[in-house]
Amino acid sequence: MKNRFIRAIAGVFILISVLLAVYVNENWLWFTGFVGGQPFTIFFY
């Protein structure tokens, strides 16, 4: 349950940052990469 909630929050952040990149400034894609890349850090711990 907790894992689903965290993934949902990450998905919302990614969607918001993509919209911000399209309509505000493309540098928001750095935030998208950061949020999307966080699940891969689990494999290193």
pTM over 0.75: no
Residue boundaries of the structural domains of the chain: 2-44
Average pLDDT, the chain: 85
Distance (Å, rounded) from C-alpha 33 to C-alpha 41?
A: 13
Q: How many Cβ atoms are within 10 Å of 36's Cβ, its own excluded?
A: 15
| Local confidence band at 7 (pLDDT 50, 70, 90 cut-offs) | confident
Chain CA centroid to CA 5, Å: 14
For residue 20, pLDDT beyond 70: yes
pLDDT in tens, 21-42: 999 999 999 998 888 877 677 6
For residue 18, pLDDT beyond 80: yes
Q: Looking at residues 2-28, what average pLDDT do you find?
A: 89
